[in-house]
Chain A
Amino acid sequence: MREVYVVGIGITSFTRLEYPLSEIAAFPAMVALKDAGLSKVDHVYVANMGSARLNHQTGLASAVVDTLSLTPAGAEVIENGPASGASAIKQGFMAVASGLHDTVLVTSAERLREVNNLEATDVVASLSHPLAEYIYGVTLPSLAAMFTRLYMQKYGVTERHLAMVAVKNHDNALLNFFAHLHEKITLEGILDSPEAMTNNPYVAEPLRFFDCCPVSDGGAAVILASAEVAKQLNKPMIRLAGVGQATDTHCVHERAEPTDLLAVRGAAAKAFQMAGVSPSDVNVAELHDAFTILEIVESEEVGFFKKGEGHLALERGETRLGGRLPINTSGGLKAKGHPVGATGVGQAHEIVLQLRGEADKRQVKDARIGFTCNFGGFGNNVVCLVFKREN
């Protein structure tokens, strides 16, 4: 298998974008091509979840490859729910590693805000089992909420821990130009003041408004290349060193231990094994905090902390900027935003920025190894990536 390097990155603001979907995918791709110093690539993957239903557009990849004037390069859409982004990167990795292609553009776009919030909730809820979950009114927040209730009972995680994740990630997003929410929040304002419960109402008990990610539009892109190409481009050598994916039951109720996220555990283990590093070697990580609880649980399942102790590490400040292992320096899905199909590529963008030392005010000092966890469905399809700086 050949080694695969990230040679270019690009991103749009994650916010409400009133542009055609294909342009949201094409723009970060242009930025990434320019960043890499390339004008052509061998193949294009476009990560997207809902274009057919949200934007009335199918065959997005064909539109994107042509609007970028990259024809006749091959192009496909990769759909894997909220993990579409990392899945597309994984496809790009396979194409370069196998020797089939030398340069692959992985771009992504989602435009959820073309529909109203209730409809967007419904589109995302259609990830759940159609007959055993969806018909009851199951939404992603409701699955996360039922999970949170068990986690609180079993491991002593409290609403305060969840709020601490939100405050930390909102603070990080204030340092990220591209983040959706540039809004300072405080524990007093969302938890302790007499008005806090109205400022921060329940979305699905016990999860509150500030425990959930915003509904965002956005796109991000990375360019993957073989070592020979990467060496010619005169960029920091960032290697995509580990790729891991695992799945779990479609229905959340079928899982033997309902507080485990086995797909996260499995995907992370595979990615670390391929990269030949251990979780303790990681300097900076982007975890899929669509809900605040997920940042805590994923930090345990991928192996950064012991099961049931993620919230204690959070309390000690280990995961904030300046801590031992900063998590979600970009603001995470919570505050950077969650354009579903583009999220995984957005995570990779942040890690590459950190490893290059270009993350400005939120730079993690001497970051050499980075990790992303992109979580599809409610943990039924997870893709983890490990990035390494080599020079």
Chain B
Amino acid sequence: MAVDLEKILRPVDNPVPPFPPKYMMLAGGEEMVIRQVTRDEIPDILQHVEPLIHVERDYYDVVAARLYSELLAYYRYRVQDEYVLVAQINGELVAVVNGRLLSKDVGMSYHTVALRRGLRVGAHAFATKMEYHIDIIGQKEVLVVAESPIGFRRWMIEYELEKRFHIAHELGGVPSWALTKELFNRARETLVVGRRPVPQHLLEKAQAAILPPTDPPKAPVDLLAATRSLYDSTGTALMSQRWKQEGKA
């Protein structure tokens, strides 16, 4: 009986072409690989998403909590037609993006989370997600919403998205915005980048292991601790900052 019930509960994915990996150079000269991950790699990502649930800044908490559930549902076969792309620098996880197909022609964008900030990592990952929907799967439009003001400025304003307010987005049931094929073509030159094929050594490094982010977003801490430590010969100010981050204080 249990086996039969699982057959009912487990959705059957529609066949779609896989995402061909690509790479790009960031402002600091590092090369970032964006590739699709398999279900087996999801636990490697989850452990780096979980800490962000506690970062009450720029809506990382909301986004990470939702992303966590989406990744888990994908891993445990409780969501239909989902895919997950990751961005890596030397194997290090720097961004996660995901989404699903609403229908053959319409995509539903889920989340974009940057684990390293300030280098447009998130912007590149979002553009890549749109490229997957429009160019590779061949959809007509993708429904998008933003949870954070940063996301709103990036997606709704930079891409000049169209309103689809009669459609409730799967993230929170809020009115949707749409990136159409036409809008994507207009943004292509300035916002969509990447080179293919990915050189073998870069791809191998990325596939070998999803390494932890070196400088993930953290909850607000004592930002004056750096100053204090200069005049604090015992160094406790900096240590207490570190303890706070490690959850010991």
Of A34, A181, A193, the residue contacting B231 (CB under 8 A) is A34
Q: Which 4 A-B pairs have the closest CB atoms?
A: A186-B29, A193-B25, A195-B193, A189-B27
Residue pair B226, A186 in contact (C-beta under 8 Å): no
* CB-defined contacts of B124 to chain A, threshold 8 Å: 195, 198
B173 within 8 A of A: no
Residue contact A17 to B29, C-beta cutoff 8 Å: no
Tell me which residues across on chain A come within 8 A of B220, comparing CB atoms: 18
At the interface, yes or no: A177 with Cβ under 8 Å from chain B?
A: yes
Measured in the bound complex, the distance between the Cα atoms of B29 and A201 in whole Å is 16
CB–CB B194/A195 < 8 A: yes
| B22 nearest CB across to chain A (Å) | 10
Is A138's CB within 8 Å of the partner chain B? no
Q: Which of A6-14, A39-47, A303-311, A325-333 contacts B (4 or more CB under 8 A)?
A: A6-14
A178 CA to B223 CA, complexed, in Å: 10
Contact B190 A185 (CB under 8 A): no
Q: How far is the CB of A91 from chain B (nearest CB, A)?
A: 25
For residue A197, CB closer than 8 A to chain B, the reply is: yes
Measured CB to CB, the nearest residue on chain B to A183 is B118
The reply to whether A11 and B227 form a contact with Cβ atoms under 8 Å apart is: yes
A197 touches which one: B123, B190, B223, B224 (CB < 8 A)?
B190
Range class of the A interface residue count: 35 or more
B223 close to A18 (CB less than 8 A): yes
Contact status B227-A31, CB under 8 Å? yes
Minimum CB–CB distance from B154 to chain A (whole Å) comes to 11
- Sample 25 A-B pairs with CB under 8 A, ordered by A number: A13-B226, A16-B223, A17-B223, A18-B223, A31-B231, A34-B231, A35-B231, A116-B149, A117-B153, A177-B226, A183-B27, A183-B28, A185-B28, A186-B28, A188-B25, A193-B25, A193-B29, A194-B25, A195-B24, A195-B193, A195-B194, A196-B25, A196-B27, A201-B190, A210-B27
A184 to B26: give the CA distance in the assembly, Å: 11
Chain B interface residues toward A at CB < 8 A: 24-30, 118-120, 123-124, 149, 153, 190-195, 220, 223-224, 226-227, 230-231
Q: Does A200 contact B (CB under 8 A)?
A: yes
Which residues in A have their C-beta under 8 angstroms from that of B123? Answer: 198
Contacts of A197 in B (CB 8 A): 190
CA–CA, A190 to B30, complex, Å?
Answer: 11
A199: CB under 8 A from chain B?
Answer: yes
Which residue of B29, B118, B191, B227 contacts A12 across the interface (Cβ within 8 Å)?
A: B227
Q: Choose from B29, B191, B223 the contact partner of A13 (Cβ within 8 Å).
A: B223
Nearest-Cβ distance from residue B56 to partner chain A, whole angstroms: 11
Given contacts A12-B224, A13-B226, A27-B227, contact A198 B120 (CB under 8 A): yes
Considering only residues 165-217 of chain A, those with a C-beta below 8 Å from chain B are 177-178, 181, 183-186, 188-190, 193-201, 210
Q: What residues of B have a CB within 8 angstroms of the CB of A201 in the complex?
A: 190
User: Are A178 and B226 in contact (CB-based, < 8 A)?
Assistant: yes
A286 vs B223: C-alpha distance in the bound complex, in angstroms?
24
A19 within 8 A of B: yes
Is A28 located at the chain interface by the 8 A CB criterion? yes
